Structure 1
Amino acid sequence: MTDARPLGTDEATFIAAARSGDTARFALITEPHRRELQVHCYRMLANYEDAQDMTQETFLRAWHKRESFKGHAALRTWLYRIATNVCLDFLEKRHDRTPVPAELADSELGYLQPFPDRMLPEDPQESVVARETIELAFIVAVQRLPPRQRAVFVLRDVLGWPAPKAADALELTVASVTSALQRARATMREQLPGPRLDWRSPATHELSKDERGVVKSYIDAHERNDLDGLISLLRDDLRFAMLPDPGTVTRTAGDAVDGWISGGLFQHGHDDWRGIPTTVNRMPAAALYLRAPGTPDYRLFAIAALRVVDGKIAELTGFDVTGKPWLDLPPAL
């Protein structure tokens, strides 16, 4: 595997650390790659906690394989190769992570977790954290792909690796990589709506004024116990899911609201809210806290990730985080 490049400072320093067996130097050199490798593992696995674990496993494997690194490729490339294969090994062992059939609703993807923006690389390469390739809809669509096809797609179309480089990393032929990429692209186009098929185009990062305003209004409606105000924020064709609960996907605002009402939203026991605006997956989000009757604190209850279109909520994906410390958010207010 080669990037056709001279030996760089990182590579030379890594080789010296590998030969000396110096774990501290090894950690110092590899640690700056942790966050982008974690994003890579997240795209492969759709689960933030698993991505953390597999990133750590990547560093362990890199340490054990350190003497095999000769500097013919960039250190970053070598680490991505290891991370990709760590994820493939994980997927091979986990029977609950088989590709999600297209006909199943996203609620069947019970292991999906949001990715906290605070854990994105601080000085990222554009391809690593392009908003179009980390939003929840994109991550879910990737899970429709078989694992090796998934790896080809992420390496080629997200990271922009040339076919020979991806083939070498996966120990495939260039022809196999090309074929797998064509099939993956076809599946992705079937899963994503038209405006979101531009995952290889220049990316956006910042929230729009509309997005910031909608998440504020969403939190305000909860804190005022205002169902009508909440309804006014929704598009008629709202797509709603509450994870990890199966069978919660609805595809109209009316159905979503009916479910919320039948579940007791804004009724006794679910009528004393506080919220914090945040972002996950480069999307506007609200961390919602609920105070149960007779208790002094508002406890972290759910994280709601919103996709806003023309000033209205088009998709609302809720994540039940009751009793779980999550995203470095305070557990109580």
Structure 2
Amino acid sequence: MGTARACHDRPVDDEAFADLVAPHRRELLLHCYRMLGSLTDAEDALQETLLAAWRGIDGFEGRSSLRTWLYRIATNRCLNARRRIPPAPVPPFTPPEPSRRGDVPWLQPFPDALLDGVPDAAPGPEARYQMREAVGLAFVTGLQRMPPRQAATLILRDVLGYSADEVASMLGVTATAVKGLLQRARTAVADPAPPAPPAGSPAEVALTDRFSRAFCVRDLPALLDLLTDDAWLAMPPASHEYHGHEAIAAFLRASTTWRPGPPLRLTATRVNTQPAYVCELDGAPAGLIVLTLRDNRIGALTRFL
């Protein structure tokens, strides 16, 4: 990319610039993912952010921290991004009528391995969310249903802890506008879900082990016994969602992966700070199943196809 100049006429070449932004790459990727809900789109937005930062390093005068400057660029890149809507898959069976149609088909999981190196501490004291709840699928999905500026304001204020004045500067609006955007965004996520067992706790391990055994041998009664009464099943990018035991059971009975045959194989992993399983059928990949735990039950099954 040649040679750029930092503030105070200090030259920054490609290698120096890479070293300068390296500590922030992972957290900027996570920020873009929260904004866009798609890891694919977030990776593209991150590359655009770093390219814009490299091109604009001349104009960085140090009136804010480098980190804040990068967040400003990343936020605005995401606000201007166009999400790529994946085509709806055609199932190899006839699914029952869904309970409802999902409206976030671009949703993708975020591997926990990519959280390594992301600081768990917010840049300001006003953050309301801890890392785990601010990466959860339910929270990220909720952000996708907000107008983009509302989502950006909620992330910058309540997840990252920036002040109202800092957010106003990042978004190019007034502090009064930020207050209004934040109030509407908080209202949209006002109903917190029951807490999940701590990651890796005996309660989580016992629950996920029971799920794995029931799913692998297609024991439908045992699986349904693990679900909350209002549990639901979603399958991005398919729009079909099934809510409640009866609807979930009807879908699983119709699914080719649930019909009699060789046992399914599940390999444990973690995404969005939640327990998940890579699913294989006859040695072929058959999706990723993410469990959303509520108390000592499973509140949602999200199967990424």
**TM-score, with length taken from structure 2:** 0.84
| Partner secondary structure for residue 228 of structure 2 | strand
Structure 2 counterpart of 1:118: 113
- Whether 1:211 aligns to 2:212 is no
Structure 2 counterpart of 1:262: 254
Asked which structure has the greater RCO (Cα within 8 Å, sep 6+), the reply is 2
**Which AA in structure 1 matches 2:164?**
A
**Which AA in structure 2 matches 1:186?**
T
Query: Which of 309, 312, 323 pairs up with 2:294?
Result: 309
- Aligned pair count? 283
**Which AA in structure 1 matches 2:259?**
Q
Structure 2 counterpart of 1:146: 147
Q: Distance in 2 between matches of 1:71 and 1:265?
A: 56
Structure 2 counterpart of 1:173: 174
Bigger drift between 38-47 and 300-309 goes to 300-309
Query: Which of 35, 46, 57 pairs up with 1:44?
Result: 35
Q: Which runs of 5+ in 1 are unaligned?
A: 1-13, 98-103, 197-202, 292-297, 321-333
Post-superposition Cα deviations, 1:267-308, rounded to whole Å, max 9, x if no partner, equal 246x431111111111111111111xxxxxx12211111122
Q: Distance in 2 between matches of 1:122 and 1:162?
A: 24
Structure 2 counterpart of 1:274: 265
Q: Which runs of 5+ in 2 are unaligned?
A: 87-98, 123-128
Q: How many Å apart are 1:213 and its aligned residue?
A: 2.1
- Whether 1:227 aligns to 2:212 is no
Post-superposition Cα deviations, 1:37-70, rounded to whole Å, max 9, x if no partner, equal 0110011000111111111111000000010111
Query: Which of 283, 287, 310 pairs up with 2:274?
Result: 283
**Which AA in structure 1 matches 2:41?**
D
Percent identity between the two aligned chains = 38
Q: How many Å apart are 1:21 and its aligned residue?
A: 4.1
| Partner secondary structure for residue 284 of structure 1 | strand
Structure 2 counterpart of 1:87: 78
**TM-score, with length taken from structure 1:** 0.78
Q: How many Å apart are 1:123 and its aligned residue?
A: 5.1
Q: Is the 8 A contact 2:41 2:84 kept in 1?
A: no
| Partner secondary structure for residue 65 of structure 1 | helix
Q: Once superposed, what is the RMSD of the aligned Cα atoms?
A: 2.6
Task: Specify which structure has the higher proportion of helix.
Answer: 1
User: Cα 1:194–1:257, aligned 2, differ >3 Å: closer, same or farther?
Assistant: closer
User: Cα 1:95–1:214, aligned 2, differ >3 Å: closer, same or farther?
Assistant: closer
Query: Which of 240, 262, 267 pairs up with 2:233?
Result: 240
Q: Is the 8 A contact 2:136 2:273 kept in 1?
A: yes
Q: How many Å apart are 1:119 and its aligned residue?
A: 0.3
Post-superposition Cα deviations, 1:240-262, rounded to whole Å, max 9, x if no partner, equal 1111111x212211210111102
Q: Is the 8 A contact 1:240 1:315 kept in 2?
A: yes
Bigger drift between 171-180 and 210-219 goes to 210-219
Q: Is the 8 A contact 1:304 1:319 kept in 2?
A: yes
